[in-house]
Amino acid sequence: MRVLITGANRGIGLELTRQLLSRGARVFATCHQPLYAAYLQNLKVQYANDLTITPLDVADPGSIEAAFQAVRKSTNALDLLINNAGVGAGDEPLGEVTQETLLRTYTINAAGPILVAQRFLKLLQAGDQPRIVNLTSGIGSIGNRDRGGMYSYTASKAALNMLNRNLAHDVYDLGITSIVIDPGWVQTDMGGPNAWITVEESVGGMLNNVLDGLALEHSGRFYHYSGDEIDW
């Protein structure tokens, strides 16, 4: 399986890279500054033939184009695109909301995944049962939202959910499955040490409970890492 992962330098992206490599996948791991991604570089030593590390800033269309050109030199197809790169904005009470934070968070968390999917579509079309997986958040569910605050982050994830619904319709006839997954509240730099689950549990759940059985008929859905569907 040929996989492209964004935001692969730490947290969920790094663990996705590690677990997929351990399953025998050929992984193109991307991040903003690969030279400073020490853990990712360590994986490269262990999986020299199966791991390619490529610079990619999902907020920069020029960087997306450069990453596409780099990846296409190594493969003519992708079977799985995992849009994991994202940014938080803290608790962000109403009095602290700014246009700058709203737009930056949307650009990275919502626009970025769609622009990456758009550019890599040709490689996915050539893949085997190609799938696009966009990492969202349960607090991006409008139906389940029961508190205020976190304006930029929650809105960006709700936007990503809608963008994925559109994307799923547009790529369905191409045979490409596209979904969003909530990885849970995970013990990462963003989630913090008090989060409910480890990164190993989250990634293992996403792979075993969702990705392993994912088919075209599931396209457009919103999944929890446990395999359960989530209310929009």
> What angle separates helix 61-72 from helix 112-119, to the nearest 10 degrees?
40
> Average of pLDDT values for 198-216?
96
152 three-state secondary structure: helix
The confidence score (pLDDT) of residue 188 equals 73
Identify the sign of the CA torsion 212, 215, 220, 221.
Answer: negative
The confidence score (pLDDT) of residue 193 equals 75
Residue 197: pLDDT band (50, 70, 90) is confident
The confidence score (pLDDT) of residue 191 equals 67
DSSP structure class, residue 7: S
The whole model's pTM is what? 0.96
CATH of the domain at 181: 3.40.50.720
The confidence score (pLDDT) of residue 185 equals 82
> Average of pLDDT values for 184-190?
78
The count of structural domains within the chain is 1
If phi > 0 it is left, if psi is from -120 to 50 it is alpha, else beta; for residue 181 that is beta
> Average of pLDDT values for 49-60?
98
Instruction: List, for residues 153-162, the tens digit of each pLDDT value.
Output: 999 999 999 9
Please give the residue range of the domain that contains residue 24: 2-224
CB 190 within 8 A of CB 11: yes
Instruction: List, for residues 108-141, the tens digit of each pLDDT value.
Output: 999 999 999 999 999 999 999 999 999 999 999 9
CB 185 within 8 A of CB 195: yes
In a domain, 11, yes or no: yes
In a domain, 229, yes or no: no
In a domain, 231, yes or no: no
